[in-house]
Amino acid sequence: MALLLFIYVSIGAFIGLSIYRACQYAKMPLHGRWELYPVPKEPGERGHYGGSYYEELEYWTKPRKVSHMGEMKEMLKEMLFIKNLFVNQKRQWYLSYSLHLGIYLLGLWTVLLLAGAIVELTGTPIVAVNTSPVAAIIYYLTLYAGLAGVALLTIGSGGLVIKRIVNNVFSKYTTPQEYFNLLFLFAVALSGLVVWSVDPAFNYGREIFKGLITFSPITTNAALTVHIVLLGALMIYIPQTKMSHYVGKYFAFHKVLWENEPNLRNSKMEAKVKENLSYKPSTMWSAPHIHHHGTAAPEKK
């Protein structure tokens, strides 16, 4: 039962801490504009070549056009394929994408395990040969997604650890924590492989989900217990580290680099700006010119 509670806690912590982190960023004050082109929400070709509304004569007299679809497409390319890394540093992309695709597939695998658990609770077993096509599809999809996911995650995390050790440039900039993070992922993937080796159809996963749904104890062996503890700890750990870049990336692109909303007269943005300008900070910078209208401090008499 303790293990079951631990799983609840780790899932809750992952979601809760990730939301908390996102809220921390969302609550930060309105920042100065710091956009960088190309901005994909600029409509049409501009979104590709890097143009903006500043190319139009008296842009403020024309309706502002924003391509949400363009932004969404670019965001998805970055999230699903790590496009920038692929375009600019393909060698690193292979390992990094292996790790990330592995995680995405394991995410899908988790959803499939949940679906399988629900189907089994309704009385239809998830087995290879099945009269129910839904159950058969779930069985095979779970199998392939899980296997591919864990294999890619193992290769990606293990490969990145090795690269960071043997590549002189990478090793200079890698902190012990960054090695630890990769090894943590690798350990979870490896322990998953050990569990899978005695249960190739991932039945254990569906049993755990059935336990979670019905709040009933789960049966585990030593290998599975280790795997659950490691995975749960990882889920609690990730949102507290820079591995939570799934949160940061959204803000870095959507709220900073692609945020080019102009401050037009009587606009919503102008209202925000007014409010921000009325803020009185409690502390100030200390250099003399800060306190003397931008010029040097007056000479002492």
* Nearest approach, Cβ of residue 113 and another protein (Å): 29
* Nearest approach, Cβ of residue 157 and another protein (Å): 13
Which CB atom, from 65 or from 134, has the smaller least distance to another protein?
Answer: 65
Q: How many CA atoms lie within 13 A of 52 on its CB side?
A: 12
* Nearest approach, Cβ of residue 53 and another protein (Å): 8
Q: Which two tokens stand for residue 250?
A: 């959204």
Q: Give the C-alpha separation, 15 to 18, whole Å.
A: 5
DSSP 130: -
* Nearest approach, Cβ of residue 283 and another protein (Å): 5
Which CB atom, from 98 or from 142, has the smaller least distance to another protein?
Answer: 98
Question: CA angle 22-6-122, nearest 5°?
Answer: 95
Which CB atom, from 12 or from 44, has the smaller least distance to another protein?
Answer: 44
266: left (phi over 0), alpha (psi -120 to 50) or beta: left
Which CB atom, from 2 or from 279, has the smaller least distance to another protein?
Answer: 279
* Nearest approach, Cβ of residue 99 and another protein (Å): 11
**Neighbour-count burial for 208-245, b at 16+ CB within 10 Å, e otherwise:** bbbbbeeeeebebeebbebbbbbbbbbbbbbbeeeebe
